[in-house]
Amino acid sequence: MTRFDDHFQQALSDLSQKGLRRITQIMQPQQGPMVIRMIDNRLLCDFSSNDYLGLSHHPLLKERAQIWTEQVGVGARASRLVSGSLIFHQQVEEKVARFKRKEAALLFPSGWQANASVLPALFRLSQEQTGHKALVFTDRLNHASLHHGCAAAGAGQIRFRHNDLVHLTALLEKYQSEKGLRFIITESVFSMDGDQANIIGLRKIADQFNAFLYLDEAHATGILGVEGRGLSADQLGADLVMGTFSKALGCFGAYIAGSRAVCDWLINSCSGFIYSTALPPSMLGAMDAALDIVPTMDIERHRLLEKATWLRQQLQQVGLDTGLSSTPIIPIIIGENSKTLQAAKFLEENDILTIAIRPPTVPSHSSRLRIALTAIHDDRMLEQLCSSLVKLASFLTRQV
């Protein structure tokens, strides 16, 4: 106990009354997408994870993680600019750069850390090179890590309506006379809505207004684009791409990929790279294996997208709101916090694990269940999910 605990307890009570309190649930992974929730030993089919291709249990990832650990130990021992850079870091970075069709890449401990520390370094460049603050144009529904990176830099965001390139263009025109480097910051697949950005349109606008395009490809990499390279690798592309290994690639960590010059600049200026202990050999081994496997999984990607299309159609037919989803991320937008929590509990009673996503993760009055399909969900599991969601639609109608 501390003398501040009463304040914490009151704040937690306030969250509970608003239906916004979160708790951790300990899960024990089983075969495929099945998990056991440890608090009640209940077996659930997990439709909430980001393991889109099922690689988290792939034998090659586990084998290479073990081999690289045996070779050099469990830790990198230091940050990258001290003595923590191993030949394995270089190998994986070169492979990432080839995968994303960029000149160079850098590894980071997590996607959050990459976004939160790369953006301030980029924006600082504007002040140093032009003497003026960066002009930062951001999609309103960007991930919290992107908003945090802007806040950490002290950058005022000029926010455009979600995926509205007409609005973005109007804002760029409005600020055209302002000095300072221009940055457009967005995701390619939005993690809570499952819809996609128009990469070709964004690239054209960035070129028109001489803006730097920064693209978060965390949820696109592995499942979209040629060989799963994401939405930007085979287009005109972004100036800098961020992505993660913790979703379709099945392990952990993140990367940025771009020109050699921008990567060299970040080595010298990005706090998240400079001051973090380097990623351990085990994760590097899993990353390396994932980069070998993902380009070969076209069949799994095709089937996964077919499953998602089928499920969206079934849900829309019974009146469930799936938003603008066009990917394996399928939101079921309910609105009220308490009603969304009831819906998640209803599905759990039907042995389906989904998570109630509530503000501030999503905008107010847009609480939802977030369904995430994976390549390891079989037809029987999908039928069970669909049947349960049809029952949920009826349940929600009775709650009105």
Other C-beta atoms within 10 Å of 259: how many? 13
344 near 390, Cβ under 8 Å? no
Is residue 115 a contact partner of residue 149, using CB atoms and an 8 Å limit? Answer: yes
Cα distance between residue 257 and residue 214, in whole Å = 10
Residue/partner pairs of 26-33 with CB below 8 Å, 24 or more apart: 29/56, 29/57, 32/376, 32/377, 32/378, 33/374, 33/376, 33/377, 33/381
Distance CA 356, CA 361 (A): 10
Cβ neighbours of residue 192 under 8 Å, at least 6 residues apart?
141, 329, 331, 357, 361, 362, 368, 370
348: tokens are 């759990």
**265 Rama sector, left if φ>0, alpha if ψ -120 to 50, beta otherwise:** alpha
Q: What is the DSSP letter of 121?
A: H
Catalytic residue positions, numbered: 50, 143, 187, 191, 216, 219, 247
Q: What angle do CA 210, 216, 222 make, to 5 degrees?
A: 130
φ, ψ (nearest 5 deg) of residue 287: -60, -45
Residues near 214 by Cβ (< 8 Å), separated by ≥ 6?
118, 119, 122, 183, 184, 185, 186, 238, 239, 240, 242
* Alpha carbon distance, N-terminus to C-terminus of the chain: 43
Query: What is the C-alpha separation between 368 and 336, in angstroms, rounded?
Result: 8
Radius of gyration over every alpha carbon of the chain, rounded to an integer in angstroms? 22
**Structure tokens that stand for 372 in this block:** 């995430």
Omega before residue 360 within 30° of 0, cis:
yes
Environment class of residue 398 by beta-carbon count within 10 Å: exposed (0-12), middle (13-18) or buried (19+)?
exposed
